[in-house]
């Protein structure tokens, strides 16, 4: 049985760090409020002229090197973003060109903060059916470009960054002891669009627009739907959350991470958290956190790892793999 195995990871954060303190000069907020309600202490913000493809290319190069491959070995790039360089072409094709890769296929996936999980789902299916051999899966955002810097209910929550993984098709035994993706699950429900959306777009307004969110309502849906998705994702292959070594969640709010962890009886140290340092980087948050926890030695070969995310749409999902 062919499995899609994570062979390497990489990430990149823009140089400039914006602290909570710096935000108090722009909007009526406090460091204390932001830390207590979200766990966020700082976020990275892309420099003027620095684009999503710039961040994505840095992360991709690091992931390819980590996998011990060359860009020429990659035959598929799927990039999750809500903040593409251009309305078209896909940011993935810009990364493809910058990696010097002129074969295979590259395209974007748009599922906002759940984009990386959606991209994993697509790539897993393509690798297992022989459509590609070595894929780059990237989550990259310059989310700061969508923020209304006068709206304190949203501008304090987000940051910029990119994370990437290389996934390769490898032969497995067909058991849960195999390395690679064991189970993936994606869901959406378009009825909740107005709780989390951007008020612009090429077809509707001809503008890029700004993020709008009814945070406390999104919060309630997120905790319930994420917990259910992770349970179902594990159950699809006859496992449950007690089998999982680590959970790498979407980094929206420390209180969501704590709430979901509690519901699923995970120990706090099993839940990887980077929200304090990165804030919410939308589609980049899961691969950024995954790269952090692999590089610092917490997640090791053989560990069973659950990824999850929740975002605008609503969209949400989970993916279970063995490193
Ligand atoms: O990544 C996609 C998914 N997104 C999420 O999962 C985000 C989910 N939501 C959240 O993380 C939280 O709901 C927030 C962090 C956005 C807000 O926390 P909350 O505990 O749900 O607060 P709230 O929205 O109920 O607001 C409480 C108060 C309000 O004041 P009043 O009406 O009680 O007087 C807000 O106006 O906090 C006020 N407030 C602020 N105060 C200081 C809102 N933003 C700020 C701020 N600084 N930045």
The string of pLDDT tens digits covering residues 32-41 is: 999 999 999 9
pLDDT band at 166 (very low <50, low <70, confident <90, very high): very high
Give the distance (Å) from ligand 1 centre to CA of residue 201. Answer: 25
Please list the alpha-helical segments (H only) found in the chain: 20-23, 31-38, 52-66, 91-98, 115-128, 152-155, 215-235, 254-263, 275-278, 285-295
Ligand 1, atom 23, lies closest to the CA of 216
Domains of the chain, first to last: 2-171 (3.40.47.10), 180-322 (3.40.47.10)
pLDDT tens digits, 174-208: 999 999 999 999 999 999 999 999 999 999 999 99
Position in ligand 1 atom list of the atom nearest CA 214: 24
Cβ of 224 less than 6 Å from ligand 1: no
Beta strands 304-311 and 246-249 are parallel
Instruction: Give me 274's structure tokens.
Output: 């980077």
Residue 222 confidence (pLDDT): 97
In this structure, which residue's CA is closest to atom 38 in ligand 1?
153
| Spatial CB neighbours of 306, under 8 Å, sequence gap ≥ 6 | 230, 233, 234, 241, 244, 246, 247, 248, 318, 319, 320
DSSP 78-100: EEE-SS-SSSSS-HHHHHHHHTT
pLDDT tens digits, 130-147: 999 999 999 999 999 999
Q: What is the mean pLDDT of residues 34-61?
A: 98
Q: What distance in Å separates the CA atoms of residue 182 and residue 304, rounded to the nearest whole number?
A: 9
- pLDDT tens-place string over residues 89-125: 999 999 999 999 999 999 999 999 999 999 999 999 9
Ligand 1 close to Cβ of residue 37 (< 6 A): yes
Phi, then psi, of 100 in degrees rounded to 5 = 75, 30
Q: Are 9 and 294 a contacting pair, CB within 8 Å?
A: yes
Determine which residue's CA is closest to atom 19 belonging to ligand 1. 216
Nearest CA residue ID for atom 35, ligand 1: 153
Q: Could you tell me the pTM of the whole model?
A: 0.98
Phi (first) and psi of residue 58, to 5 degrees: -60, -50
Answer yes or no: is the C-beta of 222 below 6 A from any ligand 1 atom. yes
Any ligand 1 atom below 6 A from CB of 35: no
Question: Binning pLDDT at 50, 70 and 90, where does residue 240 land?
Answer: very high
Q: How far is the CA of 280 from the centre of ligand 1 (A)?
A: 14
Rounded to whole angstroms, the Cα distance separating 42 from 236 reads: 37
10 Å CB burial of residue 1 (0-12, 13-18, 19+) is exposed
| 105 cis-preceded (ω within 30 degrees of 0) | no
């Amino acid at each position: 049985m062919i499995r899609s195995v994570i062979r390497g990871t990489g990430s990149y954060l823009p140089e400039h760090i914006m602290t909570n303190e710096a935000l108090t000069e722009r909007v009526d907020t406090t460091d204390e409020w932001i830390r207590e309600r979200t766990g966020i202490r700082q976020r990275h913000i892309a420099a003027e002229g620095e684009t999503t493809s710039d961040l994505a290319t840095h992360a991709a190069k690091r992931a390819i090197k980590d996998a011990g491959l060359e860009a020429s070995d990659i035959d598929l790039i799927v990039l999750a973003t809500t903040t593409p360089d251009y309305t078209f072409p896909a940011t993935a094709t810009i990364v493809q060109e910058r990696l010097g890769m002129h074969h295979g296929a590259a395209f974007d996936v748009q599922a906002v903060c759940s984009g990386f999980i959606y991209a994993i789902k697509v790539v897993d299916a393509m690798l297992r059916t022989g459509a590609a051999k070595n894929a780059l899966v990237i989550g990259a955002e310059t989310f700061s470009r969508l923020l209304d810097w006068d709206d304190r209910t949203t501008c304090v929550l987000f940051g910029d960054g990119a994370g990437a993984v290389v996934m390769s098709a490898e032969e497995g035994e067909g058991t849960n002891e195999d390395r690679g993706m064991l189970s993936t699950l994606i869901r959406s429900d378009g009825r909740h669009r107005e709780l989390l959306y951007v008020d612009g777009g090429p077809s509707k307004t001809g503008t890029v627009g700004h993020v709008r969110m009814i945070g406390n309502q999104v919060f309630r849906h997120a905790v319930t739907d994420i917990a259910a998705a992770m349970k179902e994702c594990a159950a699809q292959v006859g496992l449950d959350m007690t089998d999982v070594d680590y959970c790498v969640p979407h980094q929206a709010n420390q209180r969501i991470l704590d709430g979901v962890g509690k519901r699923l009886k995970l120990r706090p140290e099993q839940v990887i958290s980077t929200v304090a340092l990165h804030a919410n980087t939308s589609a980049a948050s899961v691969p950024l956190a995954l790269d952090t926890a692999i590089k610092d030695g917490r997640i090791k070969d053989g560990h069973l790892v659950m990824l999850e995310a929740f975002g605008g749409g609503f969209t949400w999902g989970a993916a279970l793999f063995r490193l």
